[in-house]
Structure 1
């Protein structure tokens, strides 16, 4: 099935919205995942992705001229963001462990 079978070339050229592509498969070249931990972030390259159209709920274009993150955010390497993720998970695990240890206390 041709994903554009219901749209004419003129419709595609004149369209200012990407909504017409929502039910079609999407191929992303040079895809990346933005990982954010606290005030740190990193764009981790993922490569080529094919996404089934039924999984697409929203699609849009990025305005590369606009700053999308607050100025206090710091871009770090992939190794640094992974280290920060690990530390964040360990901190969360520790908090959960402390909660379980204190469950016997009745604060009501």
Structure 2
């Protein structure tokens, strides 16, 4: 539970769809609260019960943990690949929520 005025860390990935004039008409994306993995250094997986989630949610949590484990010293290409994987997982989770 978040307290008023508390700072939270979010991982966000999304896309804005535009009309022919370039105006935004719809957005899809995902926001994941990664505060525990940033603050605790124990990682997201140890704080979350993986058994209560579906397979896509479990995969997203594990990918967040892997990305955190890579750290900032990892090549930008590898970080980009991890971000793209998280983005695609978020899209898939979002599309299943729309159905």
- TM-score, normalised with respect to structure 1: 0.28
> Larger C-alpha radius of gyration, 1 or 2?
1
Give the strand-richer structure, 1 or 2: 1
